[in-house]
Copies of this chain bind each other. A is one copy, B any other.
Amino acid sequence: MELWFDEMHTRNARFGLRIKRELEHVRSKYQDIHVFETYDYGNLLVIDGTVQTTERDEFIYHEMIVHVPMLTHPNPKRVLIIGGGDGGAAREALKHDPNEIHVVEIDEKVVELSKKYFPNIARAYDDKRVKLHVEDGIEFVKKNAGFDVIIVDSTDPVGPATGLFEEEFYKSIKNALSPNGVVAQQCGTPFYHPEETCKAYALLSKLFKNVKIYLAYIPTYPSGMWSFVIASDMEIKERRKKSFETKYYNSEIYESSMVLPNFVKEHCENYRE
């Protein structure tokens, strides 16, 4: 007998991982969460049928969502992570030696399961500079400010994350940033859903002087081509060199990840809300 988890990338395309066993299945207040032990990818976190994290390739997503905005800022001391309950973004952000990292995760079950099954990801929570807030990120950014870097590390714009891709939220983000602050957000796959990437780009362009889309290869995410958007009133460039080991990121990647294939560029140039 073989057990497979298949994620539907579209109605007509799927990606499957062979499973040793189901470690946990929880219906939280917000979402349906599975943890599986796979053969090839270590432990696997699935939320509402969608791969969130695998032990094997999480380094790519977490390095790229964190080091690009953090190295754009000259000296990031106060960091806000919206979503990111697994702790991976906080783990990477700690490498920049900030004073405080606030992780605002709406679903405490994500944190709990990550601590239990993804200790190498969730170990950020052992550091005193990492403060967990179990609440809605949309509300949190209305009430708190003065962040040098904000990282929006959410699920895709369905379910509880929908509001994290709307104009009102981006206005709150802008207000919550320090004057030369930097925000980065994961924006899905521009191969299947260029409109999601282009919408975030368009909305952030109304609020910030400089906005760029960047890409990374993520094998377990749909199409393998994943997008992020970075925005700041400062020029978007790498201001510091990393002083730590990485498995994906390097200074050349910073620039090359912002080069887009024509079909993505053209979709965003022609995008109208």
Contacts and interface: CB of A to CB of B under 8 A. Distances in A.
A271 interface: no
Contacts of A16: 6, 13-16
Interface in A237-273: 246-250, 252-253, 255-257, 259, 261-263, 265
A247 B261 contact: yes
Interface residues of A, number: 40
A1 to B, nearest CB: 14
A208 interface: no
A15 B18 contact: no
Interface stretch (A83-91, A157-165, A218-226): A218-226
A62 B175 CA distance: 46
Contacts of A134: none
Contact of A17 (B12, B247, B262, B263): B12
A246 B260 CA distance: 13
Contacts of A15: 13-16
Interface string A5-25: 010001111111110000000
A268 to B, nearest CB: 14
A40 interface: yes
A140 interface: no
A38 B250 CA distance: 38
Nearest to A17: B13
A247 B225 contact: no
B13 A40 contact: yes
Contacts of A71: none
Contact of A261 (B11, B13, B223, B248): B248
A213 to B, nearest CB: 13
Interface of A: 4, 6, 10-18, 38-41, 57, 60, 191, 215, 217-219, 223-225, 246-250, 252-253, 255-257, 259, 261-263, 265
16 contacts: A6-B16, A15-B15, A15-B16, A191-B217, A217-B217, A218-B224, A219-B225, A246-B262, A247-B262, A248-B261, A248-B263, A249-B261, A250-B261, A252-B259, A256-B256, A256-B259
Given A15-B16, A247-B261, 17 more contacts: A6-B16, A10-B40, A12-B17, A12-B38, A13-B15, A13-B16, A13-B17, A13-B18, A15-B15, A215-B217, A218-B224, A219-B224, A247-B263, A248-B263, A249-B262, A250-B262, A253-B261
